[in-house]
Structure 1
Amino acid sequence: MSKFRTSKKIRASKLAVDEKIFNRAKGESKEDVANRILVELKKFDFYKANKLIYELGANKKLPKSLTNIFSADNRYRHQNITHAISAENHIYWLIGILTANADLLRSFNQCRQSLNCKILKGDAASALSKLDEIDELSLSWWSTEIRLHITKELQKKDTKELLQNLSNEIPNIDYSGWTFDLSLISESNSIDVYVNVITSRLREIRTSGVESAIAAGEINSCANLPISYDVSRRPSLSGTYAYRHESIIDQYVLLVTLISELSARKETIPPDVREYLLDLARRTDGIEVINILEPNNAPDTFVASLLDLYTGGDYKSVIGEITESIASESVRTFGLIELYARSIAYAPSAKRDASFFDFLAGELHQILQLAPKSIEKIWVFGKGC
C-alpha cells in the first residue's frame, strides 16, 4: 500500500465514511473490499480523523479478515493493517472493531464469568468445556494460557503435551515467543525463572533506543507481569498497536488490562476514548471497564450482609455463606477472597469445601501471616485468578 498523498488541502471535518466502500462489486473478492477499506483507513489516519477511524472499524459490514476473529482454518490469516494505521491512532480502530463485534465479546464475557466460577469451584472438566465455548467464538492465546493453568493447577497434570500440540495447530507461523513464555509459566515451579527472563528481555529492549520496540515492551509487561515486578513501565494507549496481529479476544483482554493500569496510575484517558470505551463496556457487559470509568462503591446486599457478620465476629457464618455461594457458582463471591481468608484466621475449625477458592484463600491467609515463600504465593493471584 503506497504512502497516502493528496494535492488538495482537506480538513478532517469535511471527511466522512462512505458506506459504498463496504459493498462488493461484481468480480471483486473479499480481499478487494478489505483493501479498499484500508485505503480509506490510511486517509483517515493521515488526517487524524479519529472519529472516522472509530466509525470505520465499528461498521457491521467490516470484512472478517479485518476483525481478527480466528478459527482453526484462518488463524493469523488476516489483513495486515500495519501500513494503514499509526500506533497513535490505533486505539480508535481497535475500539471500533471491538464495538462492531460486541455480541461476540458479550458472549466471551458471559463465558468468562462462568469459567471463573467453575475454576474457583475447582471443577476442571466444566472449566475446560467452557474454554471450548470461548474457542468457538475465537481462538486466542488467553484461552491457551488459562487452559495450561487449569491443567497444571486443578488437574495436576503435565502440560508438555498441550504445548507440543500447538505446533500442529498453527502451521507455517512463527509463534515461538508465545510458546516459550507459556512453557516458562507451565513447566517451572518457581516464578523467578519466568520473571527473570521477562525482565531481562525488557531491560534489553529499553536500552535499544528503538521507540516502537520499547512501546511494545511496555505493553507486553503490562499484559504479562504484575506491576510490582516492573514498577518503571509506562504503557500507553498507543501500545495496543503491538497486538494488532493478535486475536480479537487477546486484543480485548489487553485493552481491559491496560485501562485498569492507566486508571490505577491516575493517568488521563482522552474524553472521546473514554466515551467509546464506556459504550463498548455497556454493549459487552464489560463490568471491569464500567467499574473503572464509572466506579460504584456501594456494596450489594450480599456483600453488606457478610461485612456485618464479619464485623460482628461471626466468622464461621462468613465462611459458610461464601462456601455456599462458591458451590452454587455465584459471581457474588468475586472479590471476597480476602474476607474469607481473614475469617479462616479467626475460625480455623470452620467447615470448608475443598474448592480452588478455598485453596487460594489458604494461600492468601499464609501471605497475610507473612509466611515463607509469600512472594511465590502472591504469583498465584497474579497468574492464576
Structure 2
Amino acid sequence: MKAARFLILLLPMLLGGCWDRTEINDQGIVQLTAFDAGDKPGSYQSLVQVALPKKISGQASSTGGGAGSTSSLPYMPVMVKGTGLDDMMVELEQRISRNVILAHRRVFIVGEKLARRGIEGVLDSISRDPDQRLRAFFVVARGMTAAKLAESEYTLEATKEEALRELIVRKMKVPSTFRDVFANSAEPGIEPIAAAFSRGSDGQIRLKSIAIFKDLKLVGYVDGYETIALLSLLGSDDPYGVIKVRYPGAEGDVAIQVNKLKIERKVAVKEGVPAFRFRVRATGRVTGNTAGLDLGDAAVKEKLDVAMKQELRRLYLSLFDKLQTKYKADSTGLGQLVYRNNPKAWKKLEPEWDEVYPRAAVAVDVDATVTQVGLMGAPFFLPEDEVNK
C-alpha cells in the first residue's frame, strides 16, 4: 500500500511539461524571403517578412496580404544586404528583437537577374543550415526583382506567402520545393524547374509560367498550354488548364479542360543513339463552344476527339522542340529515363549528353477523348441553320 502511494507521488515528478517552451511573441517567424542580386558583383539583398501573429487574424478579415502602411501589415518587412545568406542572417538577427525562426518559412523567392546568374550559392547555403525548411517553395520572380513580387497586391489571403503557396499547390501543382530542386539537381539526366510568378498590369500576382534551369542557371520559361504537357511528363496526372481546339471547317474554337493525362514512357538505345516514345492518354470536358458545333451529334463528337488529339500532340512536340533546341535543358528527364531503364547505356551517354540531348528523337502518340460536352449539344442561341454538324 505504501509502495503504491509512493509510486503515485513519484509519477507526476516524471512529467516534463513545457519546461522549454517559448512564447510565440518571443519568436521572429520568417514567412517569406525575397532574395535578389545586389548592385555590386558578389553582393545580395534580401527582403524578409517576419510574421506579426496578433495582426494576421485581423488582417485576414480586412485587407488581406495587400499593400498598405507598414503598421497595418500582418508582417514586419526587413531589408538586409550582404555577400551571402550567412552574413545576411547575422544582420537579420542583429535587427530583430526576437529569435529568428526559419523552420516555418513557406516561400523563398529569387529575382530573375539572380536566377540567370546562377543559384548555386543559394542552394549551398540552404543545404548547410539544419534550420532551413526543405518543403519551402522555391520560386522565380519573372521579369522583376524578388522584392517587387513580395510587395505585390493580393487581398484574398491573410499573408503573401500563403497566396503564393496556394497558387502552386491548388492550381499549377509545380514540383517547386527546395527538396524537388535538390533532387532534380542531383539525379542524373534531369534539370530542375521552378514556379515562375509574374505581375499583371493591375499589380496582381499571376502564376502561368514555369522557370527552366540549365546547370542551375535560369535559361527561360515555358508558358501557357505547354505547362500542361511539361507537368504531365513530370508525373502530374491531374493537370490544371484549358486548351483551345480548332474544329475542321468551322470558325471559332472549342475550349476543353483537360481532366486526366496518363503517360507511358519508352526508350530504346541502338548503337549508342537513344530514341524516345511517349504515349499520352487524355480525357477532357468542353467548357466553351464558339465554333457553333452540335456536340450531341456522334459524328461531330468523333471529329472533336481527333482534333483534341492533334492539338495535344502539337503541344507536346512544341514543348520538346523548345527544350531541346532553344534551351537545351533536359527538364522532362529524358536522360533520367535512359539511366533508369538502361544504366549501361547511360554510363556511355552521360559524358556527352549535352551534345546528344538536342538531337534525340522523340515521338508522341496521343489517345484523347472528350468525356463531357455539357448540358447541351449546340448552343441554345444559334438558329438551326447556323449549327455546324
Q: TM-score, normalised by structure 1?
A: 0.24
Q: TM-score, normalised by structure 2?
A: 0.24
Q: Which has the higher contact order (CA 8 A, sep 6+)?
A: 1
Larger CA Rg, structure 1 vs 2: 2
> Going by fraction, where is strand more abundant, 1 or 2?
2
